[in-house]
Amino acid sequence: MRSSFDDPLQLRAVNAHVFCSRLFWLEYVAGEFVDNAHTLEGSHVHRRVDKPGGAMPAPHTPDESAENEGDDPWHTRSLWLSDDTSGLTGKLDLVDLVDEGRVMPVDTKKGKPTRDGELWEADRAQLTLQALLLKAHGYRVESIAAWYHGSRQRVVEVLTPEMETWALGHAMSARHTRSLEKPPAPLVDSPKCRGCSLNVVCLPDEVNALTGGGAHEEGEIRRVLVPDHDAVPVYVTESGTRIGLKQNMLKITPRRGSDMEPAEVGLGAMSQLNLMGGVQITTQAMQALLRRDVPVSFFSYGGFYYGRTQSATSRNVKVRIAQFKQAESPVALDIARTLIADKLYNARVFLRRHLPQGPESKRVLRKLTRIRKKAEKAESAEQLLGYEGEGARQYWSHFNALVQADDEAWAMQGRNRRPPRDPVNAMLSFGYALLVKDAQLAVEAAGLDAYLGVYHTAHHGRPSMALDLMEPFRRLIVDSAVYLMVRRGEVSPEHFVRSGQAVAMKTHARKALIAAYERRMTESVIHPLFGYAISYRRIIAVQARLLARVLTGEIEEMPNFRTR
């Protein structure tokens, strides 16, 4: 059996553990990492010390080595040291020669020291362990220092035996946390969470609210911080378009004779790239997108979602282990019941908002409520499937009446697909393909396997978990976008083409639907459970994270998402 000392503990991991044990677990056990402004700025201020350089004489012969290098005191940058006895390893930003053979580790920090001008505890622990590594290699160390870039200040502290014992205690505590199967509980109302890059993964206030770990009242939960909120999805819908790379821009060149204008899009302004039909993209452009973690999704011209490329899948293997363990378990059925009940609830909300008041609308609303309550108590996936189908029949008959209210050209022939046989079904199928794409991105970002669901059965090429996750959102996002497009006259029957029984969208309809879908995804709503304003795109990401927490056992029940 391997001991905790067989896997060396990184010194920066101890720094993270002192800052927050949950952050440490998520980053160094689960493998989660997300950049934010603080981490990017930290990388920037480290750009010089991250380059190896300088001189590092052997222990106890500094004067002799210094003579070899000249009269200036020596220092070395980016020095990696390990010690098997203590089980520690880490990279030292800088090691300075102090005098008479004494050396001092100096770490670079992007911020400022404490108000008292001292080292932060996390920094002190990391630097003390750096000093112990140097001692283990025979160097004499009597002080430690940090260079705080924010205040352009070097803070030096004398190393004491008490500090060494204290820092080793933190290392031992970090090893204990590393052995845990679940992450430690989140901090409660901590100001540290605001700037933490893993806030969107940790969901501290949301998890505390669901587990009773914080004394939150309605509306008190802090909004999840959204990274890269300025970056937007980009869609290229015209076959024959070529995409290449021009420095840090994607150069989009339409086919000859097209009405489209050439365009250039900055890589940093793009959250995802979606290609419809026969769009060509160069290897250089693909590599640049992968380097920036920008996923590229591929669709058929008609909107069928083929899949996507991305730089790497989530490293949080513990989530996938839990997902496979829970497949077809009572936990999976509980989650499925919640998702389908939410779908039925939100379908009722959609009809309540748009159906004219009268006996018929009251009848169908009551019917949907009864079906939803039955679904909440379903004893098997087969029973749940029956309730879902019963609710769908009620919903689609009235959705059809809504969209063709003023023009029979929008009449639906029931819900049909592959191929869609009327314009409304063509738009719905295309919109659901877009939603599958976003749900799959959220599911995989949460560490889940998109192809093993809790409700949809495993089937070749079917992203079952993404289909599960999107169930409560179908009516709120896609159906709502299609209905409003028809009502507002953003599309007309002339924007569709019929071939045999199949109906497909022309370019105008496709572009209009993409625009309507993206408007809906970026629309802010008040989260019914947590009480803060958040976009639908972020809600899907949050629900995916919470679903993963149910599978790993961190929270007991899948939280509902029901609109009012």
Binding residues for Mn(2+): 388, 456, 471
Give the Cα separation of 273 and 309 in Å (integer). 10
Helix (H) or strand (E) holding 154: strand 153-158
Give the C-alpha separation, 455 to 331, whole Å. 11
Residues at the binding site are 388, 456, 471
- H or E element, residue 68: helix 62-69
Q: How far is CA 345 from the centre of its chain?
A: 27
Q: Which of these, 396, 377, 270, 399, lies nearest to 333 by C-alpha position? A: 377
Residue 109 host element (H or E): strand 102-109
Say which residue the tokens 């996938």 belong to.
Answer: 320
- Provide the token pair at 79: 């020095």
> What count of other Cβ atoms lies within 10 Å of the Cβ of residue 246?
10
Between the alpha carbon of residue 411 and those of residues 405, 421, 424, 483, 506, the distances in Å are: 9, 11, 8, 12, 18
Cα 172 from Cα 129, distance rounded (Å)? 12
- Which residues are bridge partners to 244 per DSSP? 251
Rg (C-alpha) for the chain, rounded Å, is 28
Q: Which residues contact 426 (CB under 8 A, 6 or more apart)?
A: 420, 496, 503, 504, 505, 509
